[in-house]
Amino acid sequence: MTYADVVMGADYDLAATARAIAEPTRAAMLLRLMDRQSHTARALAEAAGIAPSTASTHLHHLVNAGLVKATIVGRRRLHVIASPGVATAIEAIAAISPMLPAESLRDARTGSQLQTARVCYSHLGGWLAVAITRELQASGVVDNLRTNGHAAVKTLDHPLLTHLHITNLADLTGPLIGECQDWTEGEVHLAGRLGAALLSATLEQNWLRRRPRDRALNVTDTGVDHLTRLGLWPAATTH
């Protein structure tokens, strides 16, 4: 083994991963997969605005790069983000990336809905997630995420968590709490088990509803009613 071999193997090949993500079609597919759902090549082609016949080539690149995992279920080939680590990396890149310009009214509406509430892989993201995080920090439910490197959940005794029936986080996996930089709001929102519980509960209680073609979440009338009563959804909000 030469000195050059040692040097070349001493660090990460960021360029290889960057090349896999850099193609706009593949980037669009990865963002669509951030809803943590399984998608066919046809569905991902639609999300990326390409013909289904060309989707398999792009997905092949993503699978080979270790960013996407494909499984056969019956007659369908389904794709998911390969791991939570990949999802974290994608969200981190999004946080330092410029927003794409809206090319249609549909794009503008989708962008607005993504900013309000969206699936951030395992947890809730967007304006609503940041508002909830601020409230839970101010109320002493969690430590200040930015100043405490060992943030903890202090209590689950809070009206929001009570309304959502979040009383125990033991059934979930992963760290109890974490922070995720919100790419639309420029602030952190909750990740970890508490963040996942908030996403799951708001969907189960029909406060939020998944959209069929992107990872934005619609806030239902039920959600607006509860969130307004909790002081988390001003009636005059433009979000």
8 Å CB contact between 180 and 189: yes
pLDDT along the chain (239 residues), means of 10: 53 88 94 94 94 93 96 93 92 82 56 85 94 94 68 90 94 85 88 94 97 90 96 64
221 and 132 housed in the same domain: yes
Q: What per-residue confidence (pLDDT) applies to 236? A: 43
Which of these three, 29, 52, 83, is where a domain ends? 83
* Orientation angle between helical segments 24-33 and 52-64, nearest 10 degrees: 80
| Domain span holding position 24 | 3-83
> What burial class does residue 77 get, using C-beta atoms within 10 Å of its C-beta: 0-12 exposed, 13-18 middle, 19+ buried?
middle
Q: By the 8 A CB rule, do 207 and 229 touch?
A: no
**For position 108, what pLDDT does the model report?**
52
144 and 52, same domain (yes or no): no
153: closest CA among 202, 191, 123, 207?
191
Residue 28 shares a structural domain with residue 119: no
Whether 209 is covered by a domain: the verdict is: yes
Q: Structure tokens of 212?
A: 């069929």
Same domain, 197 and 138: yes
On whether both 109 and 225 belong to a single domain, the answer is yes
Of the three residues 29, 48, 83, the one that is the final residue of a domain is 83
In whole angstroms, give the CA distance from residue 116 to residue 111: 9
184 and 116 housed in the same domain: yes
Whole-number Cα distances in Å, 155 to 161, 167, 185, 202: 10, 9, 26, 19
159 and 45 housed in the same domain: no
- Residue 68 domain-assigned (yes or no): yes
pLDDT at 149: 54
Tell me how many domains the chain contains.
2
66 and 117 part of one domain: no
Together in a domain, 22 and 114: no
Give the distance between the most distant pair of CA atoms in the chain.
Answer: 67
Q: Do 72 and 158 have their domain in common?
A: no
pTM to 2 decimal places? 0.79
